[in-house]
Chain A
Amino acid sequence: DAKTTQPPSMDCAEGRAANLPCNHSTISGNEYVYWYRQIHSQGPQYIIHGLKNNETNEMASLIITEDRKSSTLILPHATLRDTAVYYCIVKAAGNKLTFGGGTRVLVKP
């Protein structure tokens, strides 16, 4: 599966949108982009995934560039409870999830 690159950390203000970038320049045509987050001392929580179209659910929006080499996870109105490590993972259906370092997001009041 393709490797992803994420910034190690970022801060965002409570109530504002949080935009989390992810680069995956070697992504293959059959690989999906998945986002999970892990709040301290808990198991990872699934957020969203997509192949090439932008996706939105009750938690977040996923914007994938036309060339699929990068994507952005958008938390529309960040709350203190969104403080977590966010993982961007690229994999084909049926393959294993491989976790990288992720982005440590701190939402500040």
Chain B
Amino acid sequence: GAVVSQHPSWVICKSGTSVKIECRSLDFQATTMFWYRQFPKQSLMLMATSNEGSKATYEQGVEKDKFLINHASLTLSTLTVTSAHPEDSSFYICSADGQGQETQYFGPGTRLLVL
């Protein structure tokens, strides 16, 4: 299957700071990337969908000004959690879909802890 990477794998930050998470498709061009959030013992919840070169589409209840998504190239999407608070602590996972791919492939996830 296709390979998707995320960086960093984990991050600890102070409340009020911003954190950027990168998602890269390593061996294919990702026309669409997705960002999910997963709280402990819960399933994945889709936050937003981004297409290369256009604005992201956010799911209901997800604050677009708090979770900034940029998909500037066919291999890179970034999620910035602005003014992070402890309740934003979660496991953030990206996935990518593209030409020639049968389905979405997921990154390994980024664990965020906001103190």
Which residue numbers of A lie inside 8 Å of B, CB to CB?
Answer: 34, 36, 38, 41-46, 49, 87, 96-102
Contacts and interface: CB of A to CB of B under 8 A. Distances in A.
Nearest to A32: B103
Contacts of B93: 43-44
Nearest to B49: A96
B43 to A, nearest CB: 5
Interface of B: 1, 4, 6, 34, 36, 43-46, 49, 91, 93, 95, 102-109, 111
Contacts of A87: 43
Given A41-B109, A42-B109, A44-B93, A100 B104 contact: no
Given A41-B109, A43-B107, A98-B46, 7 more contacts: A42-B108, A42-B109, A43-B4, A44-B93, A49-B103, A97-B34, A97-B46
B108 A99 contact: no
A97 B111 CA distance: 21
B44 A99 contact: yes
B103 A100 contact: no
Chain A binding surface SS class: loop
Contact of A99 (B43, B103, B105, B109): B43
A100 B43 contact: yes
Contacts of B36: 99
A46 B104 CA distance: 8
A81 B103 CA distance: 23
